[in-house]
Structures are given as C-alpha cells and as structure tokens.
Amino acid sequence: MNILAGDIGGTKTILAIFSSDHGAHEPIAEATFPSPDYASLESMAHAFLASTGMPVSRAVFGVAGPVLNGSAQITNLPWVMSEQHLRAALGLPRVRLINDLEAIANAVPVLNDDDLVALNDVQPTPRGAVGVIAPGTGLGEAFLLWVNGRYYAFPSEGGHNDFAPSNELEGDLLRYLQRRFGRASYERVCSGIGIPNVYRFLRDCAYAQESPAVAEQLASAKDPTPIIVANALANPPDPLCAQVMDIFTSVLAAEAGNLALTVIATGGIYLGGGIPPRILPLLQRESFMNTFRYKGRLSGLMERIPVRVIMNAKAGLLGAARAALEMEAT
C-alpha cells in the first residue's frame, strides 16, 4: 500500500510516496516544488500524483506552523489548508495535517546511524521517553512516549517558555530582551530569529566590538543569521559572532537539558531543525555537554541521557511518512 507524505514550507515543499513494503525511510517517488508557484497544496499534490501515476490511500503533511482543529496556514504563503478539504480534493479517505516539529519527532524511530551524530556515548533506553528540540527560524520542541507498543509523537510550545539565564552575562541579556520585547522566551535567544537579538545585545551593550567587515555584510543582508553563523565558524572567527554563538549553544544546551528533565528523556534528546547541522563543530565542544548535564542534584540523571544531532535534512518528510504508515495500520 502506498501513502503520500509532505514537508510543507513557505519557500519549498517536498512531496513523496512511500510504500508499506519499503517503510518510512525510503521513498519510492519524490519531488521538490517551489511553494509560491502553486495556488494550493491540493493543486501541487495533484500535479505530483499525476506525474508518478501511483495511487495512494492516505496522506500526512507536516506543516511549518500550528495545526488547529485540522486546519493550518503557513507564514508567507497564502494557502489555507484543512484536512476536510484535502480529503475531498484528493479523493482520499484519510488526510492529516501535523505540526512540523511533530513530524520531525515522528521521524526519530526510523532514523538510522547515518542520519545522526552522537554528542555523547550514552545509548538510548528502550521505550524511554524522547525529547526533540529544533532551532530553525523559531525554536520548536516535541516529545515521544511509548504507548501500546510504539512511539507516539506529541507537539509542544516549549520554545516559548520564559528564558532563564545561567550566568551574569545571560542575566544582562535577559534584561536587554525584556526592555525590547517586554517578555523574553527561549526562542528570542535560541533560534534563527534569536541570533540577531544576541548580536545586537553584545554590540549595543559594548560587550564586544563590531567588525566593520561584518557590519557591511549585515547592512545589505535580508537575513542576518547566516552571516553571523558563517563569521563565527570562519578561520579565524569574528570575535563578536563567535561570542554570539557561544551564548546560543550554551542556551540551547541548557534548554535541551530542561526538556530532558521535563520528560525524563532516557530514550534520548535529539537536536533537529536547520541550525544544529550547520554548527556541529560548536555542539561537539565539551562545553555543550557540560552545560546540558549541569542540573544540580539531578546531574547524575543527565549523565544517562543520550544526545544526538539529526543530520538528515528530510527528517520532517520521513516523520510525515511514518505517521501515514502508522495511520494505515490503525
């Protein structure tokens, strides 16, 4: 039996067909589409299915945004998607829309060793709870629990929890963000939209001097985050950008540790999203795991939590496929 899976974004959408014979890791047909070129998801799906000539019985789409009562809308894309409308338009008995972080979480059970980089030598406890934290444009979080013989993924808005500083510098950052935004969440620091906030804090509060070369690059940039990250990873690194990413990785480690405590993630903490693979050398530094484990009386528990970076850029697609195949079996 074949199913349709999709990873829906404002810029591009990946659609793929998976077979129950091959599982959720290997699509039997796949294509990437520029999302703005299509009037709707159903028109894109019709074009894809027509090009493959393969019938499908179910569909699950991971959506970069909240899914409420079976409906979703993506920022920067005029589509309004609903499960009911998609079922009718595609002629399928079952269609689900799931949040993109729920989709990434769904992928964890089908990822293999080539899809992951381990940050410590701890092995997952079978059937242990799993946490997923994914800094991309925003900061997404999700978790998986073992229920009735398999893992179920659950979405979360933990990235919007109140940011808690771990040292004096981060305390100054918190107050800076509060003055600017009124409230400071982890997403204000630990995400693609957060990295420029940290850069401006360090620059404006004279913790580090801005390089004229970097300032020139930022002046003409539509998105400052890739420039800050690239200059932090350069050889030699820009001092201000490097300090930005030091704070970013420290806060990410602390919040990943918070998530691990929240769900007692003996099955592992998985770092997803677009940023972790790009900054892998920074995450592999000893300081990251030291911060992750630094939980006072529960530091011993943290020693038992595996931490992995998801390197497979199509994890959301694989997770949507797993959700559709599991739906097929129910």
CATH number of the domain bearing residue 278? 3.40.367.20
Q: Whole-prediction pTM value?
A: 0.94
Task: Pull the structure tokens for residue 261.
Answer: 């405590």
Residue-level pLDDT at 264:
97
Rounded to whole angstroms, how far apart are CA atoms 285 and 141? 23
Instruction: For residues 178 and 75, state if they share a domain.
Output: no
Could you tell me if residue 209 is inside a domain?
A: yes
Residue-level pLDDT at 330:
47
Instruction: For residues 176 and 305, state if they share a domain.
Output: yes
Instruction: For residues 307 and 158, state if they share a domain.
Output: yes
- Per DSSP, the three-state class of 269 is strand
Pick the last residue of a domain from 99, 121, 149. Answer: 99
Q: Are 87 and 94 in contact (CB under 8 A)?
A: yes
Residue-level pLDDT at 64:
83
- CB-based contacts of 171-177 (< 8 A; 24+ apart in sequence): 172/201, 172/205, 173/198, 173/201, 173/247, 176/201, 176/204, 176/205, 177/201
For residue 112, what are the contacts with CB-CB under 8 A and spacing of at least 6? 25
Q: Are 316 and 155 in contact (CB under 8 A)?
A: no
Could you tell me if residue 330 is inside a domain?
A: no
Residue-level pLDDT at 10:
84
Instruction: For residues 90 and 119, state if they share a domain.
Output: no
Q: Based on the structure, what is the number of domains in the chain?
A: 2
CB atoms under 10 Å from CB of 57, counted, come to 15
Residue-level pLDDT at 8:
93
Could you tell me if residue 320 is inside a domain?
A: no
Give the amino acid at 258: N
Q: Are 5 and 59 in contact (CB under 8 A)?
A: yes
Instruction: For residues 153 and 252, state if they share a domain.
Output: yes
Residue-level pLDDT at 77:
83
Instruction: For residues 86 and 164, state if they share a domain.
Output: no
Instruction: For residues 94 and 136, state if they share a domain.
Output: no
Domain span holding position 85: 2-99
Instruction: For residues 82 and 189, state if they share a domain.
Output: no
Could you tell me if residue 316 is inside a domain?
A: no
Instruction: For residues 259 and 237, state if they share a domain.
Output: yes
Could you tell me if residue 137 is inside a domain?
A: yes
- Per DSSP, the three-state class of 175 is helix
Could you tell me if residue 7 is inside a domain?
A: yes
Give the residue among 239, 221, 235, 174 at the shortest CA–CA distance from 201: 174
Rounded to whole angstroms, how far apart are CA atoms 145 and 315? 18
Instruction: For residues 125 and 94, state if they share a domain.
Output: no
Over its length of 330 residues, how does the chain's per-residue pLDDT go in tens digits?
A: 899 999 998 889 999 999 999 899 999 999 999 999 999 999 999 999 999 999 999 999 999 888 889 999 887 788 989 999 999 999 999 999 999 999 999 999 999 999 999 999 999 999 999 999 999 989 999 999 999 999 999 988 899 999 999 999 999 999 999 999 999 999 999 999 999 999 999 999 988 899 999 999 999 999 999 999 999 999 999 999 999 999 999 999 999 999 999 999 999 999 999 999 999 999 999 999 999 999 999 999 999 999 999 999 999 999 999 999 998 554
Please name the residue ranges forming H helices in the chain.
41-52, 83-90, 100-107, 168-181, 195-204, 212-219, 224-233, 239-263, 275-278, 280-283, 286-293, 299-302, 315-329
Instruction: For residues 244 and 306, state if they share a domain.
Output: yes
